[in-house]
Amino acid sequence: MEQLKNACLDIWAAGSDTTTNTITWTVLYVLHHPEVAIKMYEELDANIGGGRLITLNDKHKLSYISAVINETQRLANIVVNPFIHTTTTDVVFIPFGTGKRSCIGEGLAKTELFLFIANIYNQFEEYLQYRTVNFGCGAVRYEIS
């Protein structure tokens, strides 16, 4: 029983950081790419509407949102890793690992990510106006106007 308790605690602790990081990066990416937000809202309006919470039964209707989550995981470094690593060749990052080293909480994490992100965007809309500011040195900042 103690082993089961420790395994559950490990899954919860490891998953809370990576899930929070993925949600944060997804929101940031969508804020910087309003065209993605528009497509997400169009998919949600066409398939769900804002009057109810999204469930797992809705996942097959929201393929664009699932793709946004997958793309965020591909682009963002969401794993908390205090060690600096280098490689001699290009490598592909697989968010949940593979084979014997695959994440035991992958199914739970993917479910949580879909439900959190889909419901956040189904219940709230971003009414932000973006303006690009170029500081002359190539640095670009987005401001709310």
pLDDT for the residue 107? 82
62's CB contacts (< 8 A; 6+ apart) are 43, 44, 47, 48, 54, 114, 118
Q: What is the pLDDT of residues 18-76, one digit of tens each?
A: 888 889 999 988 988 888 988 999 999 999 987 789 999 999 999 999 999 999 988 87
Average pLDDT of the chain is 79
What distance in Å separates the CA atoms of residue 52 and residue 47, rounded to the nearest whole number? 12
What secondary structure letter does DSSP report for 82?
Answer: -
Show the CA angle centred on residue 111, arms to residues 110 and 117, nearest 5°. 85
Task: Give me the residue spans of the domains in the chain.
Answer: 2-144
